[in-house]
Amino acid sequence: MLSMDKHREAGRNVFMGSVNGLANVLAIAVAFLVTPKFYELTSSSIRDFVGGAYGSNWTDLASFGWGLISATTIFYIARMSIGTALIMGGLAIATRFL
């Protein structure tokens, strides 16, 4: 039989796993929606910089790399923000009922 502490810990693990999963799904959605617009607004500046600093042969590779960097940065910022908001919201709800 589970002791009360182990039972409470199991509940926390399920809650945190669900929060992480939901944060990941929402962050993927945010990255999917935001990345194209961000890339559109910034890619010309990156291409101009790389073309001037390293030569025009590197602009396509730099554009591809910038797309990857943009998508991953937006994903991780969204996941960090959404995860924190979900945890704080969950704690606020939990303390309301305790």
Nearest alpha carbon to residue 75 among 32, 18, 19, 36: 32
- Listed as own residue / partner, the contacts of 37-44 with beta carbons closer than 8 Å and 24 or more positions apart are 38/70, 38/74, 39/66, 39/67, 39/70, 42/66, 42/70, 43/67
* pLDDT one digit per residue (tens) for the chain, 98 residues: 557 677 667 667 777 888 889 999 999 999 999 999 999 999 999 999 999 999 999 999 999 999 999 999 999 999 999 999 988 887 787 777 76
Contacts of 34 (CB under 8 A, 6+ apart): 74, 78
The model carries a pTM of: 0.80
User: Residue 5 corresponds to which tokens in the numbers above?
Assistant: 């502490």
Angstrom distance (rounded) from CA 53 to CA 25:
38
